[in-house]
Amino acid sequence: MDEFELIDRYFSGRGARRGDVPLGIGDDAAVLAPPAGRELLLTTDTLVAGRHFPADGFPPDAIGHRALAVNLSDIAAMGGTPAWALLAIVLPQADEAWLASFAEGFSALAERFDVALVGGNVARGPLSITVTAAGFAPQGQALTRRGAQAGDALVVTGALGGGAAGLRAFFQGAAVQAAPVRAYAHPEPRVQAGRSLLSRAHAAIDISDGLLGDLGKLLYAAEGLGAELEAQALPLAPGASREDALGPSDDYELLAAVPEREMPAVEASLEGPLFTRIGRVTPTSGIRLDGRPLAGAGFRHFA
């Protein structure tokens, strides 16, 4: 079975059916109809076996879910609505059971977020998956990392440290269906939360490299500012320590800087306690936890 047949069998027509896809997978390129008056968001992210997910024993459907989820999380962090995805798989052999399971995990998430799979590539090599996701945002309103102001509240979605705790549980032998591992294996892109921050937050980012690492990037983009975090306020995922919540953890929650005047609207915008206030932006640089200085440190891919 060649690449052409593999894509045809496992990926053609997967994900959502959308009216803005005149031509999907199967030609040299997809033909798409972006909506008038909105900006297009594009992002790409790679998962490498043994680095971004366990090389052994990790189920292909979870790899499929994660590969799409980390990209939808980037669209969510911009306040966007996802629409289309392209999928490039490098895998050692044409393992049909693997591909069927991978496609299932990918497609289930895509359908849930109304994302059409419009492009695919399969090549032979060491396992890695690169997804490109596209979405839309209202003209001139996409949230960026830049723009946090002193006095802004810092809020996060969901709970933190679940990625680190889940991965640890997996390596300790917990089943993939067990709650902590599931949080790692099936992160939920915070698309609705991101949209609710549009025209309210000053800045937003997704927490893919750990809270301190990504908060550091938000502050780097707001030159000279710092942050004060409250340890008690950090929402910890089941099984997660405070160190898990602060350090490198594949959580894919959102972190946003929200002016106080918008906080009531943000807190009222979603059902349940999805947003948690964890601190505030300060006029002086550096990150402090309960008043003690911390050094920002993210996931240093090449450290």
100 contributes a contact to a copy of itself by CB under 8 A: no
Task: Give the whole-angstrom CA distance, residue 288 versus residue 262.
Answer: 24
Closest approach, Cβ 52 to a copy of itself, in A, equals: 7
CA contacts within 13 A on the Cβ side of 49: 15
156 vs 240, beta carbon nearer a copy of itself: 156
Task: Give the whole-angstrom CA distance, residue 80 versus residue 262.
Answer: 19
Closest approach, Cβ 134 to a copy of itself, in A, equals: 7
DSSP code of 145?
S
Give me the helix-helix angle, 96-112 and 3-10, nearest 10°: 50
4 vs 273, beta carbon nearer a copy of itself: 4
125 contributes a contact to a copy of itself by CB under 8 A: yes
152 vs 214, beta carbon nearer a copy of itself: 214
- Is there a contact between 190 and 255 (Cβ–Cβ < 8 Å)? no
Q: How far is residue 204 from each of residues 154, 217, 221, measured CA to CA in Å?
A: 10, 10, 11
In the numeric block, the tokens 């939808």 are attached to 72
Applying CB under 8 A, which of residues 41, 115, 153, 198 lies at the interface with a copy of itself? 41
- Binding segment for a copy of itself (CB under 8 A), chosen from 10-18, 47-55, 101-109, 163-171, is 47-55
Q: In the structure encoding, which two tokens stand for residue 43, read together?
A: 């992002």
At a CB cut-off of 8 Å and minimum separation 6, what does 199 contact?
A: 141
23 contributes a contact to a copy of itself by CB under 8 A: yes
60 contributes a contact to a copy of itself by CB under 8 A: no
- Binding segment for a copy of itself (CB under 8 A), chosen from 43-51, 153-161, 222-230, 260-268, is 43-51
**How many residues interact with a copy of itself (rule CB under 8 A)?**
74
Task: Give the whole-angstrom CA distance, residue 231 versus residue 78.
Answer: 27
Applying CB under 8 A, which of residues 18, 48, 168, 228 lies at the interface with a copy of itself? 48
Find how far residue 171's CA is from the centre of its chain.
22
Applying CB under 8 A, which of residues 9, 17, 51, 268 lies at the interface with a copy of itself? 51
12 contributes a contact to a copy of itself by CB under 8 A: no
CA-nearest of 127, 165, 190 to 250 is 165
In the region spanning residues 135 to 154, those forming contacts with a copy of itself, defined by CB under 8 A, are 135, 137, 140, 142, 144-146
In the region spanning residues 229 to 288, those forming contacts with a copy of itself, defined by CB under 8 A, are none
Applying CB under 8 A, which of residues 11, 14, 16, 45 lies at the interface with a copy of itself? 45
- Binding segment for a copy of itself (CB under 8 A), chosen from 131-139, 165-173, 229-237, 272-280, is 131-139
- One-letter amino acid at 124 equals R
